[in-house]
Amino acid sequence: AWRKLAACEFQGKEQFQREVVRHVETTLARSMYNCDDAAAYAGTALALRDKLVIGWNKTQQNQTLQDQKRVYYLSLEFLMGRALDNAMLNTQVKDVARDGIAELGFRIEDVINQEHDAALGNGGLGRLAACFLDGLATLNYPGWGYGLRYRYGIFKQEIVDGYQVEVPDYWLDFNPWEFPRPDVAVDVMFYGYVKKDTDSDGKTIIVWEGGEIVQAIAYDVPVPGFDTSTTNNLRLWSSKPASGEFDFQKFNSGDYEGSIRDQQRAETISAVLYPNDNISAGKELRLKQQYFWVAASLHDIVRRFKKTHRPWSQFPDQVAIQLNDTHPTLAIVELQRILIDVEHIPWDQAWEIVTATFGYTNHTVLPEALEKWSVPLMQHLLPRHLQIIYDINLFFLQKVERMFPKDREMLTRVSIIEESQPQVLRMAYLAIIGSHKVNGVAELHSDLIKATIFKDFVAIYGPDKFANVTNGITPRRWLHQANPKLSDLIASKLGGYEFLKELSQLERLRPFIDDKEFRREWMEIKLSNKIRLAKYIRDTTGISVNPHALFDIQVKRIHEYKRQQMNIFGVIDRYLNLKAMTSEERKKVVPRASIFGGKAAPGYWMAKTIIRLINAVGEVVNKDKDIGDLLKVVFIEDYNVSKAELIIPASDISEHISTAGTEASGTSNMKFVLNGGLIIGTCDGANIEITREIGDENIFLLGNLAEDVEDLRHRHRYGQVEMDPKLRAVCDEIEKGTFGDPSVYEGLISSLTTGCDYYLVSDDFSSYLTTQDLVDEAYRDKDGWATKCINSVASMGFFSADRCINEYADMIWNVEPLVPVK
């Protein structure tokens, strides 16, 4: 037996039941006699919420009272997923809730499944922000998230005739996890003009006025830590017309439509999440979103600081702001504007405060993802900010000129302004110049940004300004919640659930590696997770998958650099091989289920074509009588956080096969290994550090290295590459029409042939296929496979979000945890 987790907040299941019933009958005004799963969910959520709020209030009071340095995580995306299960587990009331709700006639799993995902993000970057909030709260750091309260999160994906169709994600009709704070409202201005004026002392001051004002209303979401009373805050801003802006004149003169239009224009700002992942759209509305959110958040932070009546020089001792990519870069300019224009602090002093406050995390080297805003657009929308950017740039370039007096080229290269037509602002450069630390998200990535896109800045600032903080994931959601059976088995061996707070404790699993009974239980849990997924696939797609087949999973945003196309080409090659075999030969084949999931950005045609091809291959393969269970191809619709919790624990192998040097880190790779799956992957992002931790005998690496990519691309451009014959055969099969009208796939194929195969599929394809053969070979040895899985899990401690958060706290934020109140 192992130590039970700390006592729950409810005085037993009876109290829990009373609270649920009270909420169903009074808050929802429904009778328990016609209480369905949805009402049971609402009642359970509200009952739990009442408990959360107590710890939340205490935490916030305590943080105010202690008045230590706080960290603010600015992110345009928080991909939170569902809250109920997580909150029950973190506050350790799930057992009570399960028993209590069962007696009321419900299954806790059905109740949990009623909740709509909070999908305020695209993929890795947004989910990282959510994992960080969990880590901050669990470690008792005073840390807030600031984001936008999108009315529509990432779209819901439907597959119609094999094509992705986007459906709006309206998630707010019942959301018990947010608390509107109508008293926390900030006016944010756009457009207008800048003029010089004199103050009462006759000093020249700059005023920005005459613009359009939109109001930001705060909505707060509690973030409970695991096994602690600390409950932090995620503050999301919603836009509405400022009082007085709603045009009464138009309304009174009968122009209702005109007045409503103005109102809608304000509300449009927080209406929808941009569905682009790793691609920047230079749209005015996106820039408005960024400034709206940044201005409201900074106003809030500054207001909190001013209540302490400290001198401004102490601002960086009280406040650390982390920029999740360049999306909040305007915060740098906005703080400088507040300090000089509003607080009248001299430029140099202000700039010192600003740079000591901010840290910037870079998440990509892909050129199309680097944010650039047109100067005319900035001039129009934020005229005062553009002036300040010019000044920041001027002072910076003067410094560079003093350092490198003869290097004119250098000045052109590092200028915030790119001399294109029209001129554009390079937001990453502004973020570097305005921060005291810049970090990448995995070792290779952090090295690459120093050697490539930010090379000049390393020469200017020295290497110490640039750091690496390898990403991490929260083991609470990604092990305990997603895979409760595995978590319980581990706890039974380690003598409790401490490992969920100190993930390196997983090392202590190693002595059990030869324990027959332990191994049997381990593999039984994997099988039951595969059965759970197979059932879901059957219920939703009608495809039957044999749970004993090797489950090969690739779930992530669809992007050419992530190379789902290489995976599906590999599947086609496998299919062709199976077709060519005798029935005797087929008996020796390891059955495989190739499972895909992920969304394509709505305007990304190539990504959508890849989805179409995956579905078309599935159509053909899944009904081919020669093939049967030996190969199944599944595309799971609408991949999201809650589906990830179902899918990830069911994998035998998962694919992380980006072109080397393109995936900054990847975080699902960590989730899969933590759940006892193995990886087939390239030497890219965090795969490299995962290999270092778990040992190269436990991972299937393939393909060219990042250092080879430049040369390979060069050769493609000069037509010096023969296409791999097996890839040629796959393309021929597609062009023959085996998977439907081949004209649909023309673009996809020509990107390899007449295009330059930018993502180097043909260069890695044969290595990919031989590595997949090694996977089959290894899977035949069931015992050897189990050893690899268990050893890998034992080595995953490093990839906890807690380790990652502690590194940020030490190296970048200089913040300390706060002793929680009881």
The binding site for ligand 26Q (CB under 6 A) comprises: 122-125, 128, 274, 276-278, 280-281, 286, 363-364, 369, 371, 441, 471, 663-667, 685
Q: Are 295 and 38 in contact (CB under 8 A)?
A: no
Amino acid identity, position 759 = Y
Using the structure block, give the residue that is written with the tokens 């007449």: 754
Q: Count of CB atoms within 10 A of residue 481's CB?
A: 21
Query: Does the active-site annotation cover 363?
Result: yes
How far apart are CB 639 and ligand 26Q at their closest, in Å? 14
Peptide bond preceding 820: is omega within 30 degrees of 0, i.e. cis?
no
Q: Residues 6 or more apart from 817 whose CB is under 8 A from it?
A: 139, 140, 141, 809
Which tokens sit at 577? Answer: 């091989």
Question: Which residue out of 127, 445, 526, 671 is catalytically annotated?
Answer: 671
Nearer to ligand 26Q (CB atom), residue 283 or residue 535: 283
Nearer to ligand 26Q (CB atom), residue 630 or residue 670: 670
CA–CA–CA angle 465, 469, 475 (5° rounding): 160
How far apart are CB 762 and ligand 26Q at their closest, in Å? 23
Nearer to ligand 26Q (CB atom), residue 98 or residue 557: 557
Name the β-bridge partners of 198. Answer: 204
How far apart are CB 125 and ligand 26Q at their closest, in Å? 3
By beta-carbon distance, which residue lies closest to ligand 26Q? 124
Question: Which residue out of 667, 726, 771, 788 is catalytically annotated?
Answer: 667
How far apart are CB 82 and ligand 26Q at their closest, in Å? 20
Question: Which residue out of 556, 563, 599, 643 is catalytically annotated?
Answer: 556
HSE-up (13 A, CA, CB side) for residue 531:
6
3-class DSSP state of 250 = helix
Nearer to ligand 26Q (CB atom), residue 327 or residue 726: 327
Q: Residues 6 or more apart from 312 whose CB is under 8 A from it?
A: 339, 343, 345, 349, 353
Please give, one letter per residue, the 3-state secondary structure of 584-608: HHHCCCCCEEEEEECCCCCCCHHHH
Q: Residues 6 or more apart from 654 whose CB is under 8 A from it?
A: 552, 553, 554, 555, 648, 668, 669, 672, 677, 678, 679, 680
Q: Are 287 and 373 in contact (CB under 8 A)?
A: yes
Nearer to ligand 26Q (CB atom), residue 351 or residue 813: 813
Which tokens sit at 48? Answer: 């739990």
How far apart are CB 444 and ligand 26Q at their closest, in Å? 11
Which tokens sit at 389? Answer: 């950017």
Using the structure block, give the residue that is written with the tokens 């005798």: 582
HSE-up (13 A, CA, CB side) for residue 234:
28
Query: Does the active-site annotation cover 671?
Result: yes
Question: Which residue out of 385, 426, 557, 726 is catalytically annotated?
Answer: 557
3-class DSSP state of 468 = strand
Amino acid identity, position 502 = E
Question: Which residue out of 94, 127, 562, 726 is catalytically annotated?
Answer: 562
Nearer to ligand 26Q (CB atom), residue 237 or residue 274: 274
Q: Are 555 and 636 in contact (CB under 8 A)?
A: yes
Nearer to ligand 26Q (CB atom), residue 369 or residue 433: 369
How far apart are CB 136 and ligand 26Q at their closest, in Å? 16
How far apart are CB 665 and ligand 26Q at their closest, in Å? 4
Q: Are 125 and 52 in contact (CB under 8 A)?
A: no
Question: Which residue out of 327, 363, 563, 592 is catalytically annotated?
Answer: 363
Q: Are 214 and 269 in contact (CB under 8 A)?
A: yes
Nearer to ligand 26Q (CB atom), residue 278 or residue 336: 278
How far apart are CB 802 and ligand 26Q at their closest, in Å? 16
Nearer to ligand 26Q (CB atom), residue 440 or residue 740: 440
Which tokens sit at 694? Answer: 């778990």
Query: Does the active-site annotation cover 588?
Result: no
Nearer to ligand 26Q (CB atom), residue 281 or residue 774: 281
Q: Residues 6 or more apart from 298 whose CB is under 8 A from it?
A: 331, 334, 335, 338
How far apart are CB 214 and ligand 26Q at their closest, in Å? 20
Query: Does the active-site annotation cover 557?
Result: yes
Distance CA 60, CA 664 (A): 35
Distance CA 502, CA 488 (A): 16
How far apart are CB 633 and ligand 26Q at their closest, in Å? 25
Active site residues per annotation: 363, 556-557, 562, 667, 671
